[in-house]
Structure 1
Amino acid sequence: MSDRTADVVIIGGAVMGSAVACHLSMRDDFDGRIVVVEADPAYEICASARSAASIRQQFSSSVNIEISLYGIRFLREIGAELAVDTDRPAIDLHEGGYLFLATPDKLDILRENHRLQQQLGADIGFLDAAALKAKFPWLEVSDLAAGCHGLTGEGWFDGYGLMQAFRRKARSLGVDYLPAHASLDRQGGAWQVRLSSGDTLSAPVVVNCAGASGGPELCRQAGLDLPIVPKKRCVFTFECRDRLERFPLLIDPTGTYVRPEGTGYICGSAPPPDMDPDCTDFDVDHGLFEEHIWPTLAARVPAFEAIRPGAAWAGSYDMNLFDHNAFIGAVPGIDGLFLALGFSGHGLQQSPAVGRGLAELIATGGYQSLDLSPLAVDRLAANRPIVEKNVV
């Protein structure tokens, strides 16, 4: 590598790192050299490639709702936003909506969340049990008080395609991608990014987008300890004999989810806390499907009593144990270090807004469009968690 200096080094080149690189390289007021370092250049095990890839506005915190309101606008226009010459990317966006279901003890929370979502402009419908049964006749509602359904602006898409679209656009604008593991050191007012290839990059700005596999260790090397750990999440597929019309991304009150995928369905659920250790392997826990997910879904959708299980895979969340929300932005007291870590399963849907926001912050010193400061890392020291009631 002949040029060992850069203006910005982004460590982690999956969807988040590539979104930051893409947005920064598209800015007219930034012409510096951007280098992305990616330890998994084939993207075989990154969370972006193994995610169920969906987007929702049904959060309980304003900043998360606003992030996804921008995200859906971006995804709808991705062909124009990330075109390279005449090649327009497509991500197969399906706006089938989330359907959050609530038992009577959670009805007040559902109503409160719905009011906030509507106030911010999200297109979410509130349905009592009778309305749920009328709209979704295949649904078991006897234990439910109500549900909220994303009428527009929520759904699922090709997450790998989104990552590759950001990456391709960034490379077309001159961003360099280097396949290597990275470590951090600080010398003479600049960051020294040491690569497993033996090279070292010197840069005034480093953006840590390395996820749970490398992000926390890079922070420790910079003098920052964050409660971010890898948690394994399994995704299961199955076919159903009956055709169920207008099936959304359904969130059972237990947190188990299911949505259409092709001619079948995909589903998953977080394991119980006492069976959810920090984990870096990708072995599928088939017992979770057989003992919890399938019985839960069959009780909620009786047609799922007769299914044919299919393929399954595992991926990882960079789980923020503090409050299950990302740390985004500059690190106070550590010059030139920026974070986009701890997304806890929301990284794909939040990447358009976070990429844009960090590009603004790096280029201008502040957020110009959507204020992401509620997600700043200083909330950890201040013990100021973001209380998100819709954790899936």
Structure 2
Amino acid sequence: MVNHASTKPLTKQRALHWLQVFLRPRYIWIERIVLHIAWNIPPILIVFGDNYTVYAGGDCPAQLLASVRHWYLASFAFMIAASVALSFQISKVVDNFGLRQAFQTGNRALVVYFFVYFPILVFVPAEVVYTYHLDLTINVAIVHTLLWIHIVRPVSDFFRASRTAATSSMFNGTARVLDAFLHTPNGFQAMSAFAKSDFMIESVIAWRALVDYRNEMPGHMSALDIYNQFIAPSAPFPLDNVVKGTILKRYAIAFECNNKYSIHPDDGEQGAQYFDVLLDAIVNKILIEMLPRFQRHPLGAGWFDFLRRHHTQHALDKVLDDTIGQAKQSQTMPTIKSAAISRSTGRLAVIMTEGMRTSVRDDDALQDNVTAHSEYPPPFGTSESVAVDRIHETQ
């Protein structure tokens, strides 16, 4: 029964995967094909538009060289303009992977090379350019600069981040602090906006649904709704890329078996802790992969403010708890007297002024004198009763 319920149509999934691969716009993009054709038509027309039979073939014709040079400068300028436009467009969207910084850095480098290359090609004689290989040197520098910015540097940053991921100061979040942050409206909104651009929105949505189910919040999703939303093969927010397959398989087997034998999932005794394993896996995924990138992003600016407030509040609560505990363990005579007065009168203890304390001390001395010269005890027996009468008179 379990094997039958856990069997999946792997062939169908593979076919669907390859179908998605080949039908994605990035693989078959008509606009990109048209752009490549249009970009390569001018060089073809320039090269094959002249009659080469009249030339000896020893040197390149000056007219052809000038045409190629003009086309190269025009394409270089167009590429710089397109890079500037692309950098402005990227600045309007959420940047999680450093693409904006890479394009802006590459654009600045291209502008610098253009202002160096343009005077050389226009004003420097061709003989000097060919003798000292100026054009070849600049071309090699441009290619290596772009390779460094867009390939070498991201790869090195990735390996550097992977080595320091466990000890990085950026990873300050814990499950408890993250839970408190996501329970705030601003924190959940910021994390959701970041998760959409980070292609992990299903993890945040699943966290909210599972936490509401765990805390039995009013209107929370049922166990069957959670399965259909996140675990089922046709789920709109699948967790295949968020949680290990073994965890999802456990829940899938349970729900599929219930469905096979017409047992409603909500009729069982799941309890509020039924999805705790799935919730812990989602929280670990957010902590390890999403939170470090969220902290470096502008949307995560509120995380550090919340973290400081949370740690400050935690420290203050700890200090207050320690202070209250010490006060309860070490009571002095004034605190004991104040507690006795409060219990005897049924009122809050009055804060005594210096004059009231002097009066109480005089009354104590008077009572001691009377007691020493009389064989009968005083009517109230203690100075606290006199202090209480005076306090009541002042009230």
Q: TM-score of the superposition, structure 1-length normalised? A: 0.20
Specify which structure has the bigger relative contact order, considering alpha-carbon pairs within 8 angstroms and separated by 6 or more residues.
Answer: 1
Between Structure 1 and Structure 2, which shows a larger proportion of strand residues? 1
Between Structure 1 and Structure 2, which shows a larger proportion of helix residues? 2
Q: Determine which structure has more spread, i.e. the larger CA radius of gyration.
A: 2
